[in-house]
């Protein structure tokens, strides 16, 4: 099973992949409408919002958590 290089989500079904394209290394949540991968800043904003919504953290804490998570993923390693 592949994992998204930008958020770490397991991609098990065709629908999990960007544009349903199983050759992509990133998931549907990390894709722009045209199928390309979101930028670091775009993903950081969406992941921060996701953490706030699902974990109830404040903005600053959620952003720090998102940055920490993203730093461990292949798409964002320096």
pLDDT band, very low/low/confident/very high, at 13 (cuts 50, 70, 90): very high
pLDDT at residue 77, rounded to an integer: 84
Helix (H, G, I), strand (E, B) or coil at 23: coil
Q: Which domain holds residue 59?
A: 2-76
Helix (H, G, I), strand (E, B) or coil at 33: coil
Please count the structural domains in the chain: 1
Mean pLDDT of the 51-77 span: 95
Torsion (CA) 28, 75, 49, 64 in degrees, nearest 10: 160
pTM for the full predicted model: 0.87
Residue 45 has pLDDT above 90, yes or no: yes
Helix (H, G, I), strand (E, B) or coil at 2: strand
pLDDT at residue 78, rounded to an integer: 65
Mean pLDDT of the 22-35 span: 95
Mean pLDDT of the 12-41 span: 96
Residue with tokens 């706030």: 52
Whole-angstrom Cα distance, residue 20 to residue 27?
9
């Amino acid at each position: 099973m592949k994992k998204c290089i930008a958020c770490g989500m397991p991609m098990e079904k065709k629908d999990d992949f960007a544009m349903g394209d199983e050759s992509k290394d990133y998931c549907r949540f990390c894709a722009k409408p045209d199928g390309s991968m979101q930028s670091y800043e775009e993903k950081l904003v969406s992941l921060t919002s996701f953490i706030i919504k699902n974990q109830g953290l404040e903005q600053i804490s959620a952003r720090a958590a998102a940055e920490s998570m993203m730093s461990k993923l292949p798409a964002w390693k320096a």
